[in-house]
Structure 1
Amino acid sequence: MSAEAAARPGASAGAARRIRAVLLVWVAALAATDLAIKALAEALLSSGATIDLGLINLRLLYNTGVAFSLGAGLAPWIIVAATGLIIAGLTWYALSSAPSMTGVSRAGAALLLGGAAGNFIDRLDGRGVVDYLHTGWFATFNLADAFVTAGVALFILGTILSQRTRDRD
C-alpha cells in the first residue's frame, strides 16, 4: 500500500505504523548527519581557523541561546527544558498526523524534527549549539538550522497543496 493510500480514511493500522516508523528513521538519520558534521567542524575549526568558501565561510561558534542567540543569557537548563518541551510537542503532532499528511508535509516534518533533534542533542553538553556556517551578513548557523528552515517551508507548502486539492474535490 502506498503512503498516499495509507493516508486515506480507513487505512490500515499497519500502514500508519510504517509511515510513523519511516518518519522516525529519517529524523534519526538527519540528526546523526548533523551531529557528525558538527563534530567534523569542531575538529577542523577548534584552533580558530576560518575556511573561506566564497559566499560562505566555515567558522566555529557556540550559540548558547536559540535562534539568533535569543535567550543566550538564560541558564542552560531553561533552554534545554523549553526546547525539549517544544520538540516533544512537535514530535507528538507529527507522529499522530503523519499518516494523513502529504509526502511533502512528511518530508518537512522529518527535516524539522531531525534538525531540532540535532541541535537539542548538541546543546545537552552545556556549551551551546555548534554553529559553523558564516556569511558575514547573516547569523552564523549550522546544517540543523537549514533542516529546520527547509522543513518548516516544506511542511507549510505540503499543507497548502493538500488544502488546494481538497478544495477542488
Structure 2
Amino acid sequence: MPIVSALLLGAADQASKVWAVRNLPLFEPRVLVRGFCDLVHVRNTGVAFSLLSTLDHRWVHPFLILATVLAMGAVLAYIAYLPCRGTAPVGLGLILGGAIGNLIDRARLGYVVDFIDLHWRGHHWPTFNVADIGISVGIALLVIDMVFSTKEPSDASRPAPDR
C-alpha cells in the first residue's frame, strides 16, 4: 500500500509540474480563486518555504539531494521493518512520493517547481506543489496514527496466564 501511494503521488506531482511549466509563465500569477489562491510558476532552490535558497548553490544542492535520499531510505526502512497499520502506511507512502517528486526536480533541474500560491487578507503562504501537499498530509496521517492507534502490549508486559 505505501509503495502504491508513493508512486501515484510522485506521478501526479510530476504531471502537475509539467503542466505548470508549460502553461504558467515564470513569476506571473494567474488568479484561481480571487483573494485566496493563485497559480504562479516559481523555482525553489531551497527546501520547504524556500529555506536555504539564499545559500551557495554549489554545496546546498548536493546536500539537499543527499538529505532527501537518506530520508527516503529511512521511510523505506520503516515501511519494511516496522509494523504499519492504521493510517501510517498511506502516510508513509505520501511522504515517500512527495520526496520522490521533489528529488526528481532537484536532480534534473537543480531546483523544485512550485506553483500553488495561497493568500488571505494580507497573509501569504509560501508557494508549494503537489509533492509538498503529499508530504504534509502524510505527516498529518502519521500524527493521527500515533495519537489514536491502540497499542498492543508487548509479550513482556502481558500478564502471565493463570494455571
TM tier relative to shorter chain: 0.7 to 0.9
Query: How much has 1:47 moved relative to structure 2?
Result: 5.2
Q: Secondary structure at the match of 2:149?
A: helix
Q: How does 1:59-138 map to 2 (within 5 A)?
A: 59-72=40-53, 73-74=55-56, 75=58, 76-97=61-82, 100-136=83-119, 137-138=124-125
Distance 1:49 1:65 in 2: 20
| Aligned: 1:58 with 2:26 | no
Between the two proteins, the alignment pairs up a number of residues equal to 144
User: Closer, same or farther in 2 for the Cα pair 1:105/1:45, shift >3 Å?
Assistant: same
Q: Secondary structure at the match of 1:125?
A: helix
Q: Secondary structure at the match of 2:127?
A: coil
Q: C-alpha root-mean-square deviation of aligned residues, in Å?
A: 1.9
Per the alignment, residue 13 of structure 1 pairs with: none
For structure 2, list consecutive stretches of 5 or more residues without a partner in the other structure.
159-163
Query: When you count strand as a share of all residues, which structure comes out higher?
Result: 2
For structure 1, list consecutive stretches of 5 or more residues without a partner in the other structure.
1-21
Query: How much has 1:82 moved relative to structure 2?
Result: 1.8
Query: How much has 1:42 moved relative to structure 2?
Result: 0.6
Query: How much has 1:125 moved relative to structure 2?
Result: 1.8
Residue pair 1:71, 1:79 contacting (<8 A) in 2 also: no
Distance 1:27 1:116 in 2: 9
Distance 1:96 1:122 in 2: 29
Per the alignment, residue 26 of structure 1 pairs with: 5
Per the alignment, residue 132 of structure 2 pairs with: 145
Query: How much has 1:135 moved relative to structure 2?
Result: 1.7
Per the alignment, residue 42 of structure 1 pairs with: 21
* TM-score normalised to structure 1 length: 0.77
Instruction: Return the index of the structure with the highest Cα Rg.
Output: 2
* TM-score normalised to structure 2 length: 0.80
Query: When you count helix as a share of all residues, which structure comes out higher?
Result: 1
Over 6 Å off, 4+ runs: none
Residue pair 1:60, 1:132 contacting (<8 A) in 2 also: yes
Q: Secondary structure at the match of 2:108?
A: coil
Identity of aligned residues (%): 32
Report Cα offsets for 1:89-148 as digits up to 9, x if no partner.
222112322xx2223111111111111111111111243100000124110111111110
